[in-house]
Amino acid sequence: MSAESSIPETRVLAIASHVVHGYVGNTMATFILQALGCEASAINTVHYSNHTAYKQVKGRKTPAEEIMELYEGLKQSFLNDFDVLLSGYMPSAEAVQAVGKIGRDLRLNAAGKPGSFFWVLDPVMGDQGRCYVPEDEIPQYKALLREADLILPNQFEAELLSDTKITSLTTLATAMQALHRTYQIPHIIITSLRMSASGTISPSTTTNPTHLTIIGSTARRDLSPRLFRLDIPAYPLFFSGTGDMFAALTVPRLREAAASAGLLGTPAWRSPDDVPAADLPLARAVERVLESMQAVLGATAAYAARAVEVLEAAEGRAGLGGGADDDDDSAARRRHLALMKASEVRVVQNARHLLLGPEREGEPPRVKFRAEEVRVEGFDGRAGEPKPDELGVVNLGVGARKGEGEGAVLVGRPGS
Residue type, 386: P
Output DSSP code: residue 345: -
From the centroid of its chain, how far is CA 178? 20
By CB under 8 A, name the one of 4, 61, 74, 105 that touches a copy of itself. 74
Dmax (CA) of the chain: 77
Q: Are 57 and 48 in contact (CB under 8 A)?
A: yes
Residue from 107, 181, 341, 368 touching a copy of itself (CB under 8 A): that is: 341
Of the pair 18, 288, the CB lying nearest a copy of itself is at 18
Q: Which is nearer to a copy of itself, 78 or 403 (CB)?
A: 78
- C-alpha pair distances (Å), 333 with each of 145, 181, 323, 329: 39, 47, 18, 6
Q: Report the nearest approach of a copy of itself to the CB of residue 5 (Å).
A: 10
- Cα–Cα distance measured from residue 126 to residue 299, given in angstroms and rounded to the nearest whole number: 27
- The stretch near a copy of itself (CB under 8 A) out of 39-47, 213-221, 234-242, 407-415 is 39-47
- Does position 39 interact with a copy of itself (CB under 8 A)? The reply is yes
Nearer CB in complex with a copy of itself: 19/150:
19
Determine contact, residues 198/192, Cβ cutoff 8 Å: no
Per rule CB under 8 A, is residue 45 in the interface with a copy of itself? no
**Contacting residue, 30, 140, 213, 240, with a copy of itself by CB under 8 A:** 30
By the rule CB under 8 A, 211 interacts with a copy of itself: no
- Minimum distance between the CB of residue 18 and a copy of itself, rounded to whole angstroms? 8
Instruction: Return the SS3 of 177.
Output: helix
User: Is residue 239 part of the contact set for a copy of itself (CB under 8 A)?
Assistant: no
Instruction: Give burial (CB, 10 Å; 0-12/13-18/19+) of 404.
Output: exposed
Tell me if residue 379 falls in helix, strand or coil: coil
* Cα–Cα distance, 203 to 67 (Å, whole number): 36
- The residue count for binding a copy of itself (CB under 8 A) is 52
Stretch that binds a copy of itself, among 54-62, 217-225, 233-241, 264-272 (CB under 8 A): 54-62
Closest to a copy of itself by CB, 43 vs 214, is 43
Q: What is the dihedral of CA 107, 112, 116, 118, to 10 degrees?
A: 30
* Binding residue (CB under 8 A) for a copy of itself from 178, 234, 311, 337: 337
321 — alpha (psi -120 to 50), left (phi > 0) or beta? alpha
Contact 146, 175 (CB under 8 A): no
Residue 20 in the binding site for a copy of itself (CB under 8 A) = yes
Report in angstroms the alpha-carbon separations of 311 from 48, 55, 289, 333: 26, 19, 32, 13
Residue closer to a copy of itself, measured from CB, 221 or 360: 360
Query: What mask, x for binding a copy of itself by CB under 8 A, covers residues 281 to 310?
Result: ------------------------------
β-sheet bridge partners, residue 217: 188, 227
The reply on whether position 66 binds a copy of itself by CB under 8 A is: yes
Q: Which of 16, 24, 28, 38 binds a copy of itself (CB under 8 A)?
A: 38
Residue 21 touching a copy of itself (CB under 8 A) = yes
Beta-strand runs (E) in 257-384: 372-373
Choose between 79 and 108: whose C-beta lies nearer to a copy of itself.
79
H or E stretch at 173: helix 169-183
Name the nearest CA neighbour of 367 among 400, 342, 396. Answer: 400
Q: To the nearest whole angstrom, how small is the minimum distance from the Cβ of residue 9 to a copy of itself?
A: 7
Smallest separation, CB 122 to a copy of itself (Å): 19
Which of the ranges 41-49, 111-119, 203-211, 213-221 carries the binding residues for a copy of itself, by CB under 8 A? 41-49
What burial class does residue 338 get, using C-beta atoms within 10 Å of its C-beta: 0-12 exposed, 13-18 middle, 19+ buried?
middle
- Interacting residues with a copy of itself (CB under 8 A): 1-3, 9, 13, 18, 20-22, 27, 30-31, 34-35, 37-44, 47-50, 54, 56-60, 66, 69-74, 76-79, 334, 337-338, 340-341, 348-349, 351-352
